[in-house]
Amino acid sequence: MVHMKKKDSDGAKRSSSSSIYLFYGDEYLVKNAARDFCANLTGKNEEDAAFVVFDGVSLDYGRLVNEVSTPSLFCPKKVILIDQASFFVGRSNVDKLVNKTCESWRAGEKKSSLRSFAQLLALANIQPQTFEHDASFVEDLASSPLSDRDKQTLSEIAGSISADSLPNRHMQDDSVVLKLISSPLPPGVTLVCTATVVDKKQQIYKALEKYGNVTELAPVQEKYSAGLQRNYFSKLVNDFLARHGKKIAPEALNKMYDRSGKDIRRIHSELGKMIAFIGDRAQITVKDVEDLFLDFHEPMFFDLLSVLRTSDPVKCLPALHDNLKLVSHPLQTLAAITSEFRKIIVAREMLFTVLRKEWRSNLTYDQFVQVMTNVRSTQIRGPKKSKFDLLSMKDYPLYLLLKNAQNYTMDRLTAILEAILEAETLMKSTRIGSISPDSVMQDLVLKICRPSQEKSPP
């Protein structure tokens, strides 16, 4: 289920006799893989080997060397785990660390966010004890300009930090770890390291790649999507449910896949919530998924799609650049924009049909709620829902969508759909699309934002 890549610096097949290991990549997969690997070595209740864990962000190199060289009193073997080893992180990882810090904070995973922030401090050579709650140092580290949203998030993180919230970092010489990795470990000692990002140009990484075992763990994704590969996702879900004695209906699995992204931790969290909800029931249904399983894509695109409705390029271009940092390929962003303007077209049609008599440009939200109650009671609807069935939307987002739709003429919407089709063709079939898809998306957003010469409220 886990996608692993064995890294051999010289391209040769090397035996796994070395007792030094590195697992890096997706934080959730890395944590589980390292946990299972160490459990196999130590046995139940650590009966086969002693187990020692170090926090890699606040690692004291002197204590590490002492632990490696000191035999265990109770077991012939010893397993040492360095969790989130910061000595693999370099300046080339700054942008990934910034994204991880901000995404974790916005997702409510504050501990993970603070660990990543501490690694940014280490790269800037700032001690946690002397940190003055100012995140502007990150802009000097980053290779590309920070978005306003990330700046705000980093400021929130910096302002929330207390004296004991960041791991204490020791000033030390990385050559100590380099020598440790390059030399044979004492008999019976196994050293296991984990990391979410690594700088492959660092001497320490090259040494471990040469003398140890390096495994990269990453979710298997679709080529042009931020979602997981379909078979991989199905096995992930079914395996998790099987461990809890549960199953899922095929149509419910399809609905879940449509709502999921690539965050395996979050998928497992949502599945755990559903298992608790269904109780003794053996199978998860479509209704369970619709009622409980959160749509992972909505937060990712909410900012971009909201500002696109304003047609203001000053707001839209920064929102586009922020979005492109999150997706695996710009085609995913293009698909979301396409869906958004199709919904606007359906909303505009709705203004001229089912709402023709009731809608007014100055209609208040309270008045709109009453209108929709009356409209829904008189409309005959089929059993199947679709994302373009606007009557199934919640009142407030539908109200905002209709308010925006009234500002578009049909000619303008047609021109936007033609520009979207042109952008898709460029990205899939031309050299510029394969080399610089971001520039194609930027050009599309500018076309969407062109000043409208007329408005046509019904």
- Residues 1-218: name the CATH superfamily: P-loop containing nucleotide triphosphate hydrolases (3.40.50.300)
**Residues 288/248, Cβ–Cβ less than 8 Å:** no
Cα-based angle 395, 398, 400 (whole degrees, multiple of 5): 110
Model confidence pLDDT, tens digit, residues 344-400: 999 999 999 889 888 988 888 888 988 898 888 887 665 555 556 788 888 878 888
Of 383, 309, 310, the residue nearest 343 (C-alpha): 309
| Side chain identity, residue 307 | V
Sorted by where each begins, the domain ranges of the chain are 1-218, 230-295, 298-448
Domain 230-295 has CATH 3.40.50.1820: no
Residue 283, classed as helix, strand or coil, is strand
Beta pairing, strands 20-25 & 213-218: parallel
> From the CB of residue 305, how many other CB atoms can be counted at a distance below 10 Å?
19
Q: How many DSSP H helices and E strands does the chain contain?
A: 20, 8
296-347 pLDDT per residue, tens: 655 556 667 878 888 888 888 888 887 786 676 788 889 889 988 999 999 9
* The architecture CATH gives domain 298-448: Up-down Bundle (1.20)
DSSP H or E stretch at residue 284: strand 283-284
Q: 167: pLDDT confidence band, cut at 50, 70 and 90?
A: low
Question: What's the DSSP call for residue 63?
Answer: H
DSSP string, 14-58: --S---EEEEEESHHHHHHHHHHHHHHHH-GGGSSSEEEEEEGGG
CA atoms of 185 and 420, how far apart (whole Å): 59
Helix (H) or strand (E) holding 248: strand 247-248
Residue 69 · residue 184 · CB < 8 Å = no
Q: What is the CB neighbour count within 10 angstroms for residue 82?
A: 24
Q: Global pTM?
A: 0.59
Query: pLDDT tens digit string along 178-224?
Result: 999 998 999 999 999 999 889 999 899 999 999 999 999 988 877 65
